[in-house]
């Protein structure tokens, strides 16, 4: 939830360390994920085509922000990058165990991409 009641809540009164920046980025990522959830709820709750289009566009921009922040996290914290890649590898292994081929995984990614654009 926004904390607009205190106009200074987002101010940082010092240069922060790398560890503090990484912690702040985790909060930023969580905030972007929350925004995606809220905009998507609004998209699903209206039949107005203009509202749907605008809100979906804003939601998609928030998803891009998650990607940008995640890329920054991977740069600042190599162990984060390692955990992300390990998690991705685990999912691919499970999909392969279920008979989902690499080509199918790529197809799924492309389908999800087009669904996001259409939503």
DSSP sequence for 97-108: HTT--HHHHHHH
39 by Cβ neighbours in 10 Å (0-12 / 13-18 / 19+) ranks as buried
Contacts of 51 (CB under 8 A, 6+ apart): 42
80 neighbors 73 (Cβ within 8 angstroms):
yes
Q: What is the pTM of this model?
A: 0.74
Residue 73: enclosing H or E segment and its boundaries? helix 49-76
- In order along its 119 residues, the chain shows pLDDT tens digits of 556 666 666 777 888 899 999 999 999 999 999 999 999 999 999 999 999 999 999 999 999 999 999 999 999 999 998 998 899 889 888 988 998 877 666 665 666 555 555 54
- And the tokens for 8? 């200074």
Residue 19 CB neighbour total at 10 angstroms: 10
Alpha carbons within 13 angstroms on the beta-carbon side of residue 108 total: 8
What integer pLDDT is reported at residue 75 of this predicted model?
A: 95
């Amino acid at each position: 939830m926004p904390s607009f009641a205190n106009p200074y809540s987002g101010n940082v009164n010092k240069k922060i360390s790398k560890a503090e920046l990484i912690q702040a980025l985790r909060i930023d990522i969580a905030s972007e994920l929350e925004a995606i959830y809220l905009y998507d709820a609004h998209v699903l709750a209206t039949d107005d085509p203009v509202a749907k289009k605008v809100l979906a566009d804003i939601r998609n921009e928030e998803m891009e922000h998650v990607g940008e922040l995640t890329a920054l996290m991977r740069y600042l914290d190599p162990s984060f990058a390692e955990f992300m890649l390990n998690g991705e590898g685990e999912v691919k292994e499970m999909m392969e165990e279920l008979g989902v081929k690499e080509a199918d995984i790529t197809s799924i990614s492309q389908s999800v991409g087009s669904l996001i654009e259409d939503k």
